[in-house]
Structure 1
C-alpha cells in the first residue's frame, strides 16, 4: 500500500517574514524550516505547494491541499469547521492593530476597529471581520506602505512581519491593541486524522529537544529582525 503524501502550503503572503521567506532555500523562515522537520520526525511524506492565501483556503476546502498552519484565534469562536482536525500547539503567534505613532492613542482598544475601514491582507482570515470593513492589500509590506501614504489609518498584521517590514522600508509604525494572541497549529483534513498522533508526537519531540526554539530564535532574535 502506498504511503500517504500530504500536500501543504505555508507561504501566507509573499511578505509573511519571518514565518516564511520566499525564494530563500537556505533561510526559508520559521515554518519553512520547521514544517519539513516536523513531517520527517513524524515519518510522513509530503509535497509542498505555493498558493496565495485565498487559494490555499479554497484548496483545503476542496481537498487539493491536506493541511496548513493557522491559529484558531483567526477564526470566529476558534471554529475551523467540521472538515478538519487540529494538532497540538506548535508556536505562539500574535497580531496587532498597526498604525502610525501619531495615531496610536486612538487604537489602543481593540473595540476601536468596529465600524472602521481597516487594512487587511487579501485572503487572510480575521475572526471579527464582520465588525469592520476590510481594505485588502496583497501583503504585510503593502500595509506598511499604505499607512504612510495615508490610504488607511490602521491595519491588522502579525507583530513580527509588521516590525520586519517597518525596518526594511524605513517606515516607522506602532503596534497598538492586540488583535489576536494565540498559537499556530496544523489544520489537517479529517480524512487524515489517523496521522494526528504521529504529528503530535513529533511536535512534542521537537519542543523537548529544542528544535522549535532554535529555529524560532534564529529568525526572531538574530538574522531576520536585526538586519
Structure 2
C-alpha cells in the first residue's frame, strides 16, 4: 500500500481528497501547515507528497525545496495558482508535477499513479544487489548464490530470477515474464516461461511439489516468496 501525505490548509478539500485516495487503496495522512512537514516526514516516510502552495507557517515553494534537499520522494503540487511562472518555480524547486485546482479526481489519480510508477522504475533500475533469505543476486556481475553456493544460471534464467526477486511477494504473470525475456506477449500457448521456471527451480533446489521458493499461482503466474519455508 503506497503512503501519501497531503499538505493542504483547506481541511474540507484535504478530507475529500484523502477519502478519494483511501477508496483507491492508498494510505493517507494530512497536514495543514508547511512548517511541520519536514519534522513529520523524518518520522513518517511516504511514497508521495501532495503539496499546496499557499500554506500557513511556510509556503509550498519553501517546503518543496526543503523536502528535495533531503529526499527524492515524488512531489505533486496541487494549487489554485495556475500562473505559468508559479508552475515553473515549483518545478525548478523540485516538484515532479504541478496540477491546478480544481482537478477532476480521476485525473489526479492518474497523475499520482504515473509518478509512483516512474519512481518505482527508477528505484529498480538503480538496484544492483537483492538479498532474500539465503538467496543473493547481483546484476552488475550477473551472479547469484544461495548461501555460499554459487548458481550456474543461463542468461534467461538470471533475467527471470532478477525479475522475480525485484517483485518478490507479488504475482508475476506469464505475459510479464515473456515481455521481460523475449519482448513478446503471452499468446496462451507459449510454454517457454514455464520451462525456464522449471529449470530455475531445479537450480534453486526448489523442485519439490509444491515448490516453496517459486510458487505457482494457478491462472495468474508465479510468485517468489520473501522467506524460505522450513522443509
TM range (shorter): under 0.3
More RCO (CA 8 Å, sep 6+): 1
TM superposition score normalised by structure 1:
0.28
Larger radius of gyration: 2
Alignment TM-score, normalising by the size of structure 2: 0.27
